[in-house]
Structure 1
Amino acid sequence: MLCEGNRKIVYQFIDQYAKEFGVRWLLRRFQLSPHAYYNYRKQRKSNYLKQKEVILTCIKEIYHRYGGKMGYRMIQRRLTHEGHLCSQVTVYKYMKELGLRSIVFKRKPPYVKGKKHRVFPNVLAREFTAEYPNQRWCIDFTYLHLASGQLHYNCSILDLNNRRIVATRTASYITADLAIETLQMALHKCSPKKGLVLHSDQGVQFTSKSFTEFCSKNGIIQSMSASGCPFEEKSEKSTLKS
């Protein structure tokens, strides 16, 4: 029945039982030319390599499309969704061959409540505007997830008059030192008059002794959102992002 069937089925039968009976014996049994059989093997390998190249290209495209965040499981599901059927083991092997690994981002560190040296009243009273430049500034921290998976911190100061970032600084630490360094940049760049209002949340960096003393020394009036008031904190952060 195999001799009368599809030639491809016969070749597949030979591949399956080659070790048990030997390729030459099976070819003689089915009266097949060795040349024809090895051409089939060559063509099958060529088709496999072509299909593999397509999958490799798709894996690279999906990986970079999502910023390297996807692992082999998610990429395999995405490939299936796009019509390329292959197992998770195959995708894992191909990603290893391409040198691709999903980027694991560090989670935002848990909030550690520090001791507040001094807390200031809310001078702005939710009025995030100013009549002229360098009258009112707003300062805040932002968490930055780098492509390498590291977590850095950005401190920026925004002028509430023209919504211009007057100073910004990024570092691997989130301390009062980073806030002071950023404020120093802003003061050096803009040279505001004494009485400048600097608004922030009640983060330990802004209520620390070193930061409050630095502000006092430079004639800066600190203003702070009320603790536990999410509306004010949300308004402040959206102002910095605008």
Structure 2
Amino acid sequence: MKHYPPEFKADAVALYESRPEATIRSVAADLGINPETLRNCVRAAGASRPRGRRSPEAAQPPAPLEAESAASRNKVRELEEEREILRKAAKYFAGGDALVNRFQCVADLQCRYGVKRLCSVLGVSRSSFSYWRRTAADRAARQAAEAQLAVRIRAVHQESDGTYGAPRITAELRETIGEAVNHKRVARIMRESGIEGVRLRRRHRTTIPDPAAARAPDLIVRDFTAAKPNTKYVGDITYLPIEGGKFSYLATVIDLASRRLAGWAIADHMRADLVVDALAAAVRTRGSLAGSIMHTDHGAQYTSNSSSAFVEACRSAGVRRSMSAVGSSADNALAESFNATFKRETLQGRKSWPGGREARLDAFRWLHRYNTRRRHSRLGQRSPIAFENAFHLTPTTLTPAA
């Protein structure tokens, strides 16, 4: 049985208390732990939370529009037949497939004018119309299947907190329903249903270089790949905006092979202790980082001087330091991309968190979910821990340092 530190248990209980609509099982799944473990933590803490209402099930897509033939037939007057047909047919061409609209017009008006006359006026062949009418049952079945698929898509989208786009939803559907689903079809249904993933927002720069700092060589050279986990890492700091103009700061350590968040720390400052704590969390997660590369930008927290806390922490852990060029975000692009994804999927269009506790709990949930459940496009739409399982690495609980 895994042994979790008190800080992890306290944060797990706090996350459960903050989400009245969530169950023990769903919160435990987000954190990658056994539901009984979380239940025992909640009981031990004597935690309670207000009763909440569960999210309603995804609304069924609107039923197809009813044919407007009855209203049209009631308005028929004794005029020239062809002119009357064209006038009635005009409303069928407001949008959509023009040929299908003509077939529908024939089907709706055939009792009054006859198929032959309608097809002649509307410029369609009777054989094509007959085929369209014979395949009506198949079309209805396809529409019903797409309606069911739209319900599944909406459920997956809601389960991802509204963050997944078409590629990740497609991967989730393929795994859960066990059949091939075309990503273009998923994208089309999402457009028709008004379902969107979270889009990128511009970030605020937090890297403040120290001009007097000693520089480490660039051992990555923009090659953000690795043959196996626990060989190359990137680190960075991003800010978490709090209402009232305040900030918290998140430091991360990310594995380049599996994209796993091996270590992280949150604090209300950007001192060197923040990045040292994140590195220490990565050491606890992996057991050892000896021989690996740690690539960062030129932020003062990482450089300072040769006797800085971070430099000493890397030396003690047996980590080789690597640094990007000054002022070049592309040289640490993977960490920058991770930070952008984290903030757009947690803030979801908001400008800030109400307070530091809310920011920490959102980060706590998302960062664990990122490792255990969130699908990554560079990993074949697998989560980082699922990807690492292919290397026979035992996933451990990721514990924040601060």
Instruction: Return the TM-score normalized by structure 1.
Output: 0.50
Could you report, residue by residue, the CA deviation over 1:89-130 in whole angstroms, capped at 9, with x for unpaired residues? xxxxxxxxxxxxxxxxxxx79976535442111101100111
Question: Which residue number corresponds to residue 331 of structure 2?
Answer: 232
How many residues align structurally?
Answer: 135
Retained in 2: the 8 A contact 1:118–1:212?
A: no
Q: How many Å separate the matches in 2 of 1:203 and 1:140?
A: 9
1:192 offset after TM fit, Å? 2.8
Match of 2:264 among 156, 164, 168: 168
Aligned match for 1:120, one of 184, 202, 216: 216
Q: Deviations over 1:119-166 (max 9, x none)?
A: 111101100111111111111001101245421111011111111111
Equivalent residues of 1:138, 1:240 under 8 A apart:
no
Q: Distance in 2 between matches of 1:128 and 1:111?
A: 20
RMSD of aligned Cα (Å): 2.4
Find the aligned partners of 1:137 and 1:218 in 2 and give their Cα distance. 13
User: Per the alignment, in what secondary structure is the counterpart of residue 206 of structure 1?
Assistant: coil
User: Pick from 281, 294, 313: which aligns with 1:214?
Assistant: 313
Establish whether residue 180 from structure 1 lines up as the match of residue 276 from structure 2.
Answer: yes
Pairwise mapping of residues 88-99 of structure 1 onto structure 2 (< 5 A)? none
**Equivalent residue number for residue 129 of structure 1:** 225
Q: Distance in 2 between matches of 1:241 and 1:228?
A: 18
Contact 2:293–2:319 (8 Å) recurs in 1: yes
Conserved? CA contact 2:288–2:317, under 8 Å: no
2:253 to 157, 169, 173: 157
Letter matched to residue 203 of structure 1: G
Letter in 1 for 2:223: E
Deviation at 1:241? 4.8
CA distance in 2 between counterparts of 1:186 and 1:111 reads 21
1:202–1:192: structure 2 CA closer, same or farther, 3 Å change rule?
A: same
| Structure 1 position 179, deviation (Å) | 0.4
- Report deviation, 1:221: 0.2
The residue number in structure 1 matching 2:294 is 198
* Residues 111 and 136 of structure 1, relative CA distance in 2, 3 Å threshold: closer
Higher strand share: 1
Mapped to 2, the partners of 1:112 and 1:216 lie a distance apart of 23
Aligned to 2:301, the other structure's residue is in SS state helix
Distance 2:310 2:221 in 1: 22
Gaps (5+ residues) in structure 2? 1-203, 342-402
Q: Counterparts of 1:163 and 1:110 in 2: how far apart (Å)?
A: 22
Matched position secondary structure for 1:204: coil
Cα distance change, pair 220–240 in 1 and its aligned pair in 2 (3 A): farther
Q: Is the 8 A contact 1:201 1:226 kept in 2?
A: yes
1:125–1:171 Cα change, 3 Å:
same
Instruction: Give the whole-Å Cα distance in 1 for the aligned partners of 2:233 and 2:206.
Output: 28
Identify if the C-alpha distance between structure 1 residues 235 and 116 changes in structure 2 by more than 3 Å, giving closer, same or farther: farther
The SS at the match of 2:312 is: helix
Deviations along 1:36-92, whole A, 9 cap, x unmatched? xxxxxxxxxxxxxxxxxxxxxxxxxxxxxxxxxxxxxxxxxxxxxxxxxxxxxxxxx
Unaligned runs of 5+ residues in structure 1 are: 1-107
Distance, in Å, in 1 between the alignment partners of 2:253 and 2:205 is 23
Question: Does the CA contact (< 8 Å) of 1:137 and 1:198 recur in 2?
Answer: yes
What's the secondary structure of 1:207's corresponding residue?
coil
Aligned letter for 1:161? A
Higher Rg of the two aligned structures: 1
Identical pairs, percent = 30
